[in-house]
Structure 1
Amino acid sequence: MVKRISHLFCTLISVLLLSGCWDMVNIEERGFIVAMAVDLAEENESAKGHHRLLLTSQIAVPPNLGTPSNSGAGGKGYMNLSASGESMYAIAQDIANQTNKIPFFEHVKLVVISEEVAAIPELFANVMDVLIRNRDTRRGIKVLIAKGKAKDILNIEPENEKLPTRYINKILDNSLTKTGEIRPVRVGDIHEYLLTGSSFVLAKISSGDKKLNFEGGSVYNGHAKKTTGSLNMDEMLGFDLIIGENVRGPIVFDFNDQLTVYSIRGANSKIKINDQNPQNLDITITIKLEGEIQETFGTVLLKEKGVIKGLERAITKKVEEITKKTIHKSQKDLETDIFGMENKLKKFHYDTWKELHNNWDHGENYFSKSNIHVNVTVKVRTDGVVDISKDKKVK
C-alpha cells in the first residue's frame, strides 16, 4: 500500500514538472516596446469633451539591430506605430492590433510627452497613471517633455545607432554620470511627486534630423496639476546647483577679462530654514563646490600668488549669479517651489508647515514671499598640468 502511494506521489510530481510554463510566449512572438510618445490628436476633443490623445509606440525589430560586430540585416531596427483615442489603455490595445507581435512593456526605457499634453490640467497625471498601474512597466522609465511633437523624438535617425531609443537613452545616461546637462525624471519619482502634490522639473528636449537637442526644463506645478513654465539651460544649471544632486558640467566665467572654464568634480548643497516669522521665512542655501580649471584664454599665470584665490572668487560670483537667477525665476515668474523646500519645512518645522502648506506655492504663496539667501564656497583643487596659460612659455 505504501509503495502504491509512493508511486502515485512520484507520478503527480512528474506531471507537475512536465507541465512547463502555462503562460510562456516565444521570444519571436513578442513585440518589444522600447519607448512611447504622447501627443494631442488632431481632433483633440471628443463629442463628450474628453481630450483625445495620439500614442506612438516604438517597437524594436531585433533581426535588424544586429550585434556589436554585425550591423544587422540592413532594414530598420524599429517600427513606430500610432493610434488615437481618449483612453491610454484602449489606445495601446489598438496599437497591439496593428502588429502580429504580442506587446511586451518590460523593456520600455523612455516616455516622451508633448508640451501641449503636459500643459492641460490633470492630463499629465492621467497619462502617468497608466504607467504607474501597469505591472509590466518599470519605475525606472525616464520621462521627458518634448518641445513640439513628442512622436518626432522617436523618429530621430542617428548615424551611429539603428534604434533611436537606445541612442537617446545612452545620451541621458551619459548626462547623468558625466556632463550633467540634462537630468530625466523617472516614473517612480513622478509617482511620489503626484501623491504628495509636489512641484518638480522635467527635462525638455527637441528633435533634429539626426540628433537630440536639450531645451532646458519644464516646470510642473503640483497644485495646478500641469506645467506652468520652463527653465532655460543656465537656469537648469542653477537648479542643479541648488538641489545638489550629482552636479556635473562646466562653469564658464570671465577672469581678467578672459574666458575661463571651471569643471565641477564634487558638489553638495544644504537648505536651512529659519521660521521665526512663519509668513516671511528666511531660507539659506549653502553650496560647496570642488573642481579644476579646464581651460583658460589669454595670459593668466596660474601659479602666481593670489591667482587661485582670485579664480575662486570669480567662480563664486558666477555661481551666485546663476543660482539667484533661477531663484528669481521660480519665486517671481513661476511662483512655484521647484527645490523641495516645502519638504524641508515639513521635516524640520512641522508646526510651521501645518500653518503654511495650504498656501505654500499657491494662494497666499508664502514661498514667493520668503527671503532666500545663497552662500557659495568654491575650491580650485587643481589647475591642470601646466603652470602658465596660453601665449606664455611653459615652465
Structure 2
Amino acid sequence: MISQGDAKDVLGIQTETEQLPSSFIDKTMDNNVKSLEIIEPVRIGMLHRYLLNKDSYALPLLTISEDNVTYKDVAVFDGKSDHQVGTLTGDDIKGLRLIKGNITNGELLFYIDGQLMIYDIYTARSSIKINAKNQDNIKISISIDTEGSIAEMFGSRSLLDQAFINKIEKQIKDNMDKIVTDTVEKAQQELEVDFFGFSTILRQKHYNDWKEIENDWDHGDKLFSQSTVDVSANAIVRTIGASGKAKDKGME
C-alpha cells in the first residue's frame, strides 16, 4: 500500500484497539471486504513486476485523519516514471474492480423508479480482448458478467415478479456500463496511463504487436489514450432464497 505523506506517520499510529499499527491496517482492510471501492493490497512481487516491465499500476492509498488510518482512495502511478499521476475515488475504483474481475464479494447501489436497491455480487468475471493489428485503431473489448441477489430494497414491488427482475437486471447492467466507461475515460483523457493491465494482456497474448507499440502505449504517441474501448456488462439476479418483502420508504 502507499501512504499519503510520510509512511512513518501511518506506521506510528496509536489506537486503542490494536497495539501494532500493521494489525490495525490489516483489520481496516478486512472490515471493508464487501465494498467495491476497496482494492486488495499489491504484493511486493507483483509491484516488482510492474517496475521491471514499466507498467502503470494502482495501489491502495492510506491517509491519517484524526489519529486514525483510513482507506478510501487508490493512487495511480505512471509505470515509466513511477510518479503518482492521480487518485481514484468512489465509482472510479468500482470501475477498476469490475474491469479486473475476479470479484467474489461486493455491493453495488442503484435506483429503480427512484427507489434505492443494493445488488449483492456473488461473482464477477471479466473478459478482455484486444486487437492491436492497426496501431491507428486499436480496439479493446471488455465483457463483464456478474451474478448476485438483491440484498436490500425500498418500495413495494415483489422480487417474485419476473418482469420486475428483468428490469432490475437491465438497470444494473446500465449502471455497470456507465461506471466502467467513465473509469476508462478518466484513464484515457485525464491520467493518460493504462493501470488496468491491458499492457500485460498485449505482452502475453500479442507479443509481436506489443513490441511495436510498447514505447508509445502510455507515452510518446499515447496509443492507449487513443484506443477504442467497448464495454458490455451483464447482470444476473438470483431470487432463490430472496425475500419478497421490501422496506417502506423512510425506514432504516
Structure 1 length as normaliser, TM-score?
Answer: 0.59
1:218 aligns with 2:80: no
Identify which of 156, 164, 177 aligns with 1:307. 164
Which residue identity does 2:130 align to in structure 1? I
Q: Look up the SS of the partner of 1:382 in the other structure.
A: coil
Corresponding position of 1:297: 154
Which residue identity does 1:262 align to in structure 2? Y
1:358 aligns with 2:215: yes
Give yes or no for contact 2:159–2:242 (8 Å, CA) kept in 1: no
Distance change >3 Å, CA 294–CA 383, structure 1 → 2: farther
Q: How far, CA to CA, are the matches of 1:212 and 1:297 in structure 2? A: 33
Give yes or no for contact 2:145–2:234 (8 Å, CA) kept in 1: yes
* Deviation of the 1:276 alpha carbon: 4.1
Q: How far, CA to CA, are the matches of 1:145 and 1:151 in structure 2? A: 11
Q: How far, CA to CA, are the matches of 2:94 and 2:15 in structure 1? A: 27
Corresponding position of 2:138: 281
Q: Structure 1: 5+ residue runs without aligned partners?
A: 1-143
Cα distance per residue 1:200-229 (max 9 Å; x no partner): 001112123354322311111111221111
Identify which of 161, 174, 178 aligns with 2:18. 161
Structure 2 length as normaliser, TM-score?
Answer: 0.91
Identify which of 49, 68, 71 aligns with 1:192. 49
Which residue identity does 2:48 align to in structure 1? H
Which residue identity does 1:316 align to in structure 2? K
* Deviation of the 1:293 alpha carbon: 0.6
Q: How far, CA to CA, are the matches of 1:383 and 1:295 in structure 2? A: 15
Give yes or no for contact 1:294–1:383 (8 Å, CA) kept in 2: no
1:328 aligns with 2:185: yes
Q: How far, CA to CA, are the matches of 1:383 and 1:153 in structure 2? A: 44
Q: Look up the SS of the partner of 2:162 in the other structure.
A: coil
Corresponding position of 1:62: none
1:318 aligns with 2:157: no
Percent of counterpart pairs with the same letter?
38
Corresponding position of 1:243: 100
Q: How many residues align?
A: 248
Q: How far, CA to CA, are the matches of 2:162 and 2:121 in structure 1? A: 23
CA RMSD of aligned residues (A): 2.0
Q: Look up the SS of the partner of 2:244 in the other structure.
A: coil
Q: Look up the SS of the partner of 2:232 in the other structure.
A: strand
Query: Highest Rg: 1 or 2?
Result: 1
Corresponding position of 1:257: 114
Q: Mean Cα displacement is larger for which, 368-377 or 241-250? A: 241-250
Distance change >3 Å, CA 383–CA 332, structure 1 → 2: farther
1:271 aligns with 2:98: no
* Deviation of the 1:155 alpha carbon: 3.7
Cα distance per residue 1:152-207 (max 9 Å; x no partner): 323433332222221112332454x5545232112111111111111100111212
Corresponding position of 2:228: 371
Give yes or no for contact 1:293–1:383 (8 Å, CA) kept in 2: no
Corresponding position of 2:28: 171
Q: How far, CA to CA, are the matches of 2:162 and 2:128 in structure 1? A: 34
Q: Look up the SS of the partner of 2:105 in the other structure.
A: coil
Cα distance per residue 1:11-44 (max 9 Å; x no partner): xxxxxxxxxxxxxxxxxxxxxxxxxxxxxxxxxx
Give yes or no for contact 2:133–2:209 (8 Å, CA) kept in 1: no
Corresponding position of 1:100: none
* Deviation of the 1:342 alpha carbon: 1.4
Q: How far, CA to CA, are the matches of 1:219 and 1:333 in structure 2? A: 12
Counterparts of 1:48-127 in structure 2, within 5 Å, are: none
Which residue identity does 2:79 align to in structure 1? G
Q: How far, CA to CA, are the matches of 1:182 and 1:349 in structure 2? A: 27
Q: Mean Cα displacement is larger for which, 371-380 or 240-249? A: 240-249
Q: Look up the SS of the partner of 1:306 in the other structure.
A: helix
* Highest RCO, 1 vs 2 (Cα 8 Å, sep ≥ 6): 2
Identify which of 357, 367, 382 aligns with 2:239. 382
Identify which of 349, 363, 377 aligns with 2:206. 349
Q: Mean Cα displacement is larger for which, 190-199 or 177-186? A: 177-186
